[in-house]
Amino acid sequence: MNIILIGFRGTGKSTVGKLLANRLKRVFIDSDEYIESSTEKTIKHIFEEGGEEGFRKIEANAIAKLSKMDNKIIAAGGGVILKNDNVENLKSNGFLILLEATPEIIHNRITQDEKTTQQRPSLTNRKPFEEIKHLIVKRQKLYENAADYTINTSYVSCEDIVNEIITIIDKQ
């Protein structure tokens, strides 16, 4: 079974995923990086060529392939929950953990993350902080419905989050 980390941009999926993979001696895959290496294009470039719709098709393809793998730790792009097929594919062999954080913390993390320019193009015509608040509310139900378990990462250390995930996985 795969362990899949879902949640909005900047909730800690990649950071936690890498640590978790280290602890469990499993392979870590970031779906955005998988898309970038298989298309040999940056996410920004894919958006420029085909808009968000074009990106979502490529993403759905990547998610279908990743879902067929086993025993991986997968950090899924923040928008995977927008397509029900993605959620069904991921769930077919995966335990979905939703990571959440406050909009303020997400904004700080995203602004400081060097990946943001190439992997996180604007999704609305709103200012960054407004976009975060707007999309979190808009996507909340989809995130909740997809999740098997939820962790708020706002004020918790990565080590504690990893420990919590390991405890939950052991109970499955």
78 binds ligand S3P (CB under 6 A): yes
123 binds ligand S3P (CB under 6 A): yes
CA 45 to chain centre: 19
Return the residue of 2, 67, 86, 119 that touches ligand S3P, per CB under 6 A.
119
Residues 130-169 within binding reach of ligand S3P (CB under 6 A): none
Torsional sign, CA 146, 104, 151, 97: positive
Q: Of 160, 170, 168, 167, nearest to 15 (Cα)?
A: 160
32 binds ligand S3P (CB under 6 A): yes
CA 77 to chain centre: 4
The interface mask with ligand S3P, positions 8-27, x = CB under 6 A, is -x---x--------------
* b (16+ CB within 10 A) / e for 83-100: beebbebbeebbbbbbbb
Sequence-distant (≥ 6) Cβ neighbours of residue 56 within 8 angstroms: 79, 82, 83
120 binds ligand S3P (CB under 6 A): yes
- Using only C-alpha atoms, what is the Rg of the chain? 15
43 binds ligand S3P (CB under 6 A): yes
Choose one: 90-98, 116-124, 140-148, 156-164; the region binding ligand S3P (CB under 6 A).
Answer: 116-124
79 binds ligand S3P (CB under 6 A): yes
Residues found near ligand S3P in the complex (CB under 6 A): 9, 13, 32, 43, 77-79, 119-121, 123
